[in-house]
A and B are shown apart, each in its own frame.
Chain A
Amino acid sequence: MKLSRKDILGIKELSVEEITLILDTADSFLEVSTREIKKVPTLRGKSVINLFYEASTRTRTSFEIAAKRLSADTINISASTSSVVKGETLIDTAKNIEAMNPDLIVIRHSAAGAPHMLASLLRQSIINAGDGAHEHPTQALLDMMTIRSRKGRIAGLKAAIIGDIAHSRVARSNIHGLTKMGAHVVVSGPATMLPREIETLGVTACTRIDEAIKDADIIMMLRIQTEREKQNVFPSLREYAQYFSLNRKNIALAREDCIVMHPGPMNRGVEISPEIADGPHSVILDQVTNGVAVRMALLYLLTGGNS
């Protein structure tokens, strides 16, 4: 089976079959990263551009490793070092990159919809590595891969996503993915962090995180951005840590075999207590490992590979 689309812009557009194809392909790539020689010639002669308009260590590194393990050439462009500072528009930058004939462009941008604009203008495949508070499809795919490998399934599970839902692209992509795959999703956080009409995305919302955690199979904690404190989205990190963090006490409400996830980077002691982050329920480092496999799968499928 082939993936018959040019770009990966969001989970919203993907079908269950497509998600399953990507996850199956990712499973098969997992092994490459455990070899002594971690390289296959699959994408030899292809070039991948990582165009990052927003700081990122984990995601950019993950994409770069994924491409290199498939033998593609990778070029990293970050906003601080590129022509962005000279005032060039995104479209001009992208057209210049296009003129150099890469095969695939990975873009992260603080403005929602930026990857969509590139996708409509460029002939290259575009992978969205996070656009504003809109989508972060590769994160949701690696999360689903992790859930599937730990739980054997996604359908029928209860997933609690906790934190700043309003500003989180990870939350949005996971809401689309997990509900499509048949999970029951509950989102929770301070009322100021739950966007209006979030229920229209097919989730339940609550402001007491205990309610969300109760009987959950999956607990996904989101990073709290400390600058929101100044915007009066919440009063203080102290209060947030006391009432909205995952800790030894409230995790007891979840199912005994629950898994704890975090997209990183973590604020230890704020949204998650250190003993939970490092504890037996945590699959946080599995997520990172699976991230490379998911990105390998997407690079492979978008350049025409079969599963």
Chain B
Amino acid sequence: MTLLLTGGRLIDPSRKADGDADLLIVDGKIVKTGKDLPKGKKSPDVEILDLRGKWIVPGLIDMHTHLREPGFEYKETIASGTEAAVAGGFSSVACMPNTNPVNDSRSVAEFISRKAKECGLANVYPIAAITVKSEGSLLSEFWDLKDAGAVGFSDDGKSVMNASLMRRALEYASSLDMPVIVHCEDKNLSTGGVMHEGSVSTELGLTGIPAIAEDVMVARDLLLAEFTGAAVHIAHVSTAGAVRLIREAKVRGVRVTAETAPHYFSLTDEAIRNFDTNAKVYPPLRSLEDRTAVREGLSDGTLDVIASDHAPHARTDKEVEFDYAASGLTGLETSLALSLRLVTDSVLTLSDLIEKMTINPARILRIPKGTLAVGADADITVIDPEKVWTVDRALFCSRGKNSPFHGWTMKGKAVLTIVGGVIRYRDL
């Protein structure tokens, strides 16, 4: 099977390439890129796509998603989650281990990989739990989990509160050259909180989660990473303090990378004013100052990655009192369009943005993706930068319709997602 993409603008930050070029795919691999590639003879085995006005980028990678399977299939399945992924332009996703059972053992990791292969949409990379059942008391079997296909370790949803255990986890993961992905939240400071602590929580009378709950834990984990020499990746950075701490640590040479999610640079705690449970996320939507700092962190390279923290929930999880609502938003199908706004707002260059959604997460997870180099797997996303569309949660492929962006007008959309040389999503 041969696929020839012609007439598009090819943007590949992994090779610092940006310019008009064609791209030839044969049998799932990128074979050639360059100007005016020969079209060859007409054949049923050859598809030629005219992509004038479109951007051709490496298949997008979302390194922070929740696919909910096994255990919470009523919220999302690997099938619906990967369908949402390719619809959002993502050819690869990493999924967090807070399933039921928790992905803390070879059997669960293998189950996820097998299911993903059966679905045959996006590539799925399991992230395994740092501790057994993510309970924060016993290390899970890192070596075995790596063999089973895990690409990193995380107790996402909470911090490993025991600093000594966290130190061991970093040392042990480091020996495998695997990243530890940390959800930073000191639970003693955040207990009972349902939104950011600030003027809005004060007015609404909702219990606040102070920014310092995140900052304290970011500081601890940075110090532990510095001490052990291990690589740590800070998940979903939401506060100005965390951005500052990470920036300073990078200057000191700490092996730290960090991500933020589109909602942290798109929304603030003002979105909670009408008690919209779709805007309830952990960490919570923060103040305008925090949002500004997150944007600066993206701009100056402190934050390496944009990941959606795709957290689908069923209606029944959200259509309850704010205090009782599940936290998280469904993000795979809005992530790219929200991120493109950063280019419009001159926060990032287009190339920097694509870098944070392709090669940077690939390098952090040590996966051979995120590039359009000759010989690489043909994972490719085609973006129509001019396409104007309205977010309609009823049209989401994800089972989770919990989006605070419903009704937003967006510009720019993935119109073609190619995974391993096969078109898995087409909206041309």
Give A contacts to B, CB under 8 Å.
Answer: 12, 89-91, 109-114, 116-117, 131-135, 166-167, 169, 172, 195-198, 200-201
Nearest CB in chain B: distance from A232 CB, A: 11
Picked from A89, A112, A197, A201, the residue with its CB within 8 Å of the CB of B198 is: A197
Instruction: Choose, from B167-175, B233-241, B315-323, the stretch at the interface.
Output: B315-323
Nearest CB in chain A: distance from B271 CB, A: 13
A200 to B275, CA, bound (A): 19
A89-B319, A116-B274, A116-B275 known; A111+B324 contact, CB < 8 A: yes
CB nearest to B195 among chain A residues: A112
Chain A residues in 8 Å Cβ range of B275: 112-113, 116-117
B427 interface hit (Cβ, 8 Å): no
B208 interface hit (Cβ, 8 Å): yes
The answer to whether A90 touches B199, judged by C-beta atoms less than 8 angstroms apart, is: no
B202 interface hit (Cβ, 8 Å): yes
Please list 26 pairs of residues, one from A and one from B, whose beta carbons are closer than 8 Å in the complex, sorted by A's number: A12-B203, A89-B316, A89-B319, A109-B321, A110-B323, A111-B322, A112-B204, A112-B205, A112-B206, A112-B323, A113-B206, A113-B275, A113-B321, A113-B322, A114-B321, A116-B274, A117-B275, A131-B205, A132-B323, A196-B198, A196-B208, A197-B199, A198-B202, A200-B203, A201-B202, A201-B203
Give B contacts to A, CB under 8 Å.
Answer: 197-199, 201-206, 208, 210, 274-275, 316, 319-324
A167 to B323, CA, bound (A): 15
The answer to whether A113 touches B204, judged by C-beta atoms less than 8 angstroms apart, is: yes
Chain B residues in 8 Å Cβ range of A201: 199, 202-203
> With contacts A112-B322, A198-B202 known, what are 18 further pairs, Cβ within 8 A?
A89-B316, A91-B319, A111-B321, A112-B205, A112-B323, A113-B322, A117-B321, A131-B205, A132-B323, A134-B204, A172-B205, A195-B208, A196-B199, A196-B208, A196-B210, A197-B198, A201-B199, A201-B203
Chain A residues in 8 Å Cβ range of B204: 112-113, 134
CB nearest to A116 among chain B residues: B275
A286 to B320, CA, bound (A): 37
Chain A residues in 8 Å Cβ range of B322: 111-113
Chain B residues in 8 Å Cβ range of A167: 205
CB nearest to A197 among chain B residues: B199
Instruction: With a 10 A CB-CB cut-off, give which of B198, B199, B202 has the most chain A CB atoms.
Output: B202
A12 to B274, CA, bound (A): 12
- 3 closest Cβ pairs, A-B complex: A133-B205, A113-B275, A111-B321
Nearest CB in chain A: distance from B202 CB, A: 4
A112-B275, A116-B274 known; A90+B320 contact, CB < 8 A: yes
A195 to B199, CA, bound (A): 9
A117 to B274, CA, bound (A): 9
Chain B residues in 8 Å Cβ range of A111: 321-324
CB nearest to B206 among chain A residues: A112
The answer to whether A90 touches B321, judged by C-beta atoms less than 8 angstroms apart, is: yes
CB nearest to A165 among chain B residues: B202
Nearest CB in chain B: distance from A248 CB, A: 33
Nearest CB in chain B: distance from A5 CB, A: 16
Nearest CB in chain A: distance from B84 CB, A: 26
The answer to whether B323 touches A91, judged by C-beta atoms less than 8 angstroms apart, is: no
The answer to whether B320 touches A196, judged by C-beta atoms less than 8 angstroms apart, is: no
Chain B residues in 8 Å Cβ range of A198: 202
CB nearest to A131 among chain B residues: B205
Instruction: With a 10 A CB-CB cut-off, give which of A12, A111, A116, A135 has the most chain B CB atoms.
Output: A111
Nearest CB in chain A: distance from B239 CB, A: 14
A134 to B194, CA, bound (A): 14
CB nearest to B203 among chain A residues: A201
